[in-house]
Structure 1
Amino acid sequence: MTTHVQLHDRLDYQSVAPLMAELKTITDDELVIDASNIRHMGTLPLQVILATIKMRDAEGKTTRLCNASDSCVDILGLFGFSPETLTQPEAWT
């Protein structure tokens, strides 16, 4: 089964707890994260997303990022990621 999560337009330090709580509850084998609304993403929410991806990968579950907005692509680029590499922990080194 697949779960879809729509990210909010602004992910900052105030978004961390709700985002973490939402992502922790997902147990399906596939998670699709829709980033079409992203205008701002801070370091802490990105770390929550990365930790979720890494934990799910260790469990043999897949995570995909889809519909990344131009802002999301730019922000990920600042951190050395692309929408594709973000969900590939083996590419993080």
Structure 2
Amino acid sequence: MTVQVQLHDRLDYQSVGPLLTELREIDDPELIIDAAQVRHLSAQSLQILLSAIKTRHGAGQITRVINASEGCIDLLSLFGFTVENFTQPETWT
């Protein structure tokens, strides 16, 4: 089964709790993260996403990002990521 999560436009410190709760509840083999609306991504929210991706990867589960907005792409690049390597912990250095 595949689950899709729609990220909000502003992922700031107020988003951390709800985002963490939502991602922790997902145990499906495939998670699709729709980032079409993202225009702000805080370091805390990024850490939550990276932790979920790494945990899921370790459990043999797949996580993908789709529809990344230009803002999302730009913000990920500031943290040293591309949309392609963001969900591949083995490429993180």
TM-score bucket (shorter structure): over 0.9
Name stretches of at least 5 consecutive residues in structure 1 with no aligned partner. none
Alpha-carbon distance in 2 for matches of 1:41, 1:80: 13
* Distance in 2 separating the partners of 1:45 and 1:18: 10
| 1:85 positional shift | 0.5
Name the count of aligned residue pairs. 93
Fraction of identical pairs, as percent: 57
Residue segments in structure 2 that go unaligned for 5+ positions in a row: none
Quick one: distance in 2 between partners of 1:84 and 1:18?
A: 25
Which secondary structure state, in structure 2, belongs to the residue aligned with residue 27 of structure 1? coil
* Alignment deviations for residues 22-56 of structure 1 (CA, whole Å, 9 cap, x no partner): 00000100000000000100000000000000000
Q: Distance in 2 between matches of 1:59 and 1:46?
A: 20
Provide the rounded CA distance (Å) in 2 between the counterparts of 1:51 and 1:84.
17
CA shift, 1:10, in A, is 0.1
1:79 aligns with 2:74: no
RMSD: 0.3
CA displacement, residues 4-24 of structure 1 (integer Å, 9 cap, x when unaligned)? 000000000010000000000
Amino acid at match of 2:33: I
**Counterparts of 1:31 and 1:90, CA distance in 2:** 18
Q: Give the TM-score, by structure 1 length.
A: 0.99
**TM-score by structure 2 length?**
0.99
